[in-house]
Structure 1
Amino acid sequence: MSLLELKNIETYYGKIQALKNISLTVNRGEIVTLIGSNGAGKSTTLKSVSGQVKLGAGSILFNGKDITKLPAHDTTLLGIAHVPEGRRIFPRMTVKENLMVGAFGVKNKKQVQEQLERVFSYFPKLKERLDQKGGTMSGGEQQMLAIGRALMMKPDLLMLDEPSMGLAPIIVEQIFEIIKELNNEGMTILLVEQNAYQALQIAHRGYVIQTGEIILQGPGEELLHNNQIREAYLA
């Protein structure tokens, strides 16, 4: 069953068309990856889903509900967590304060504490640094904090935009292991990633986007061994 469905969406920045007739689905329990070069429209697709960018045409369904015109704060409350490119943590706030921002829509204090413990189980370093300012942490630690903040709301859909960007290879491996672990526990994930090899290795399905259009789609394993993909993104 589709948790997320994009139907022929088009998005513009002023008069410039960023997305052209994009259609894709994310089924519950899947990791779906969106790969492509810089400026292809990957981040815009996620921003369209989370309500940060208004659509010029098309529709978006989440859990069977039309969310096409919903603003970002409402899509978050519905269960869509968006970890943006560049992490976007609050640098002057502590680790704990950053995490609690992620739980802004959770009224049950017991659930907040349970989610905190869950985040700490994935990222033990965060528990050790609760009082540390987010901006003083390493890039890898900030990425862990950004993902942890998103998990605080116990989302139905976790959208990750370039989680490996700027990180050392050993940290990238850790991040992708955690993504797999989250999925194994039932989390549905829509992943935007320039590291096509890493993304396709863990994805159930993938879409290739080029200049705002989907040009190829299929199972992750199939795309991983596609000659066109290998030449363009895996060389």
Structure 2
Amino acid sequence: MLSLTGVNTYYGSIHALKGVTLTVNQGEIVTLIGANGAGKTTTLMSISGVTVPRQGTVEFLGEDITKLSTEKIVARGITQVPEGRMIFPRLTVRENLLMGAYLRNDKDNVKADEEHVYELFPKLLERSKQHGGTLSGGEQQMLAIGRALMARPKVLLLDEPSLGLAPIVVENIFEIIQRINRDGVTILLVEQNAQMALQVAHRGYVLETGQVTLEGPAKDLLEDPKVRSAYLGLD
């Protein structure tokens, strides 16, 4: 469904991604794990058109989208939940959600999707008239995910959804991620909490200094000695 082939992305003269190749099949949850600075967020940005690769290709449903603008990529069915949530603090919860549907013109379906988001996240319905900036961290993460779902994505890119959240909130967020996947949305997940990510993912990739160094079924990576030592804190 989504593939990167030999992707090299730079920030000025800094070589951030060095020939990254990976695939995401329809219906999967695929996770990228790695240390800070490994290139995980840059990989998502390269897919969504925020940072354009200098070499290599990004393909989605058989189409080369490497050089497309971000809005065209969103219109094709890829949306991203950014690290740090990046909600609009002065807009209400409902206004934030409707921003996710900005490119859509099917008002009846937009209303139905808004109701579906409230079903997934009842707290957002309770707070629909509150400004986004007044929500807790967990509620803001729910809002960021809900906003992305309002674009009706085929593939959802999730960047560090557990960042800064209490463990009980993290569990709830990951249960929702699995439910979204069961509803038919393919997910590429970047997550510092490697244990949790590998428990919910079908497959995983390990990134180190901009390169894929390990890949395989998530259950195998959970048992891999290198992964256990470097990312799970286990011997």
SS at match of 1:46: helix
What residue in structure 2 maps to residue 46 of structure 1?
Answer: 44
Question: Which structure 2 residue ranges, 5 or more long, are not aligned?
Answer: none
Deviation at 1:71, TM superposition (A): 1.2
What residue in structure 1 maps to residue 231 of structure 2?
Answer: 233
| Number of equivalences | 233
What residue in structure 1 maps to residue 9 of structure 2?
Answer: 11
SS at match of 1:178: helix
SS at match of 1:118: helix
Question: Which structure 1 residue ranges, 5 or more long, are not aligned?
Answer: none
Letter in 2 for 1:124: P
Is 1:25 the equivalent of 2:23? yes
TM-score, normalised with respect to structure 1: 0.98
What residue in structure 1 maps to residue 107 of structure 2?
Answer: 109
Letter in 2 for 1:150: A
Deviation at 1:187, TM superposition (A): 1.1
**Superposition pairs for residues 123-162 of structure 1, below 5 Å?**
123-162=121-160
Deviation at 1:34, TM superposition (A): 0.2
RMSD, matched Cα = 0.5
Whole-Å separation in 2 of the counterparts to 1:130 and 1:203: 31
Deviations 1:100-159 (A, max 9, x none): 000011111111011001101110010111110000100000000000000001100000
What residue in structure 1 maps to residue 189 of structure 2?
Answer: 191
SS at match of 1:113: helix
Whole-Å separation in 2 of the counterparts to 1:55 and 1:126: 36
Letter in 2 for 1:180: Q
Whole-Å separation in 1 of the counterparts to 2:76 and 2:183: 20
Whole-Å separation in 2 of the counterparts to 1:222 and 1:106: 40
Deviation at 1:166, TM superposition (A): 0.0
Deviations 1:3-45 (A, max 9, x none): 1010100000000100000000000000000000000000000
Letter in 2 for 1:42: K
What residue in structure 2 maps to residue 224 of structure 1?
Answer: 222
Letter in 2 for 1:215: T
Deviation at 1:63, TM superposition (A): 0.8
Which segments of structure 1 move beyond 3 Å, counting only runs of 4 or more? none
TM-score, normalised with respect to structure 2: 0.98
Whole-Å separation in 2 of the counterparts to 1:216 and 1:199: 15
| Percentage of identical aligned residues | 59
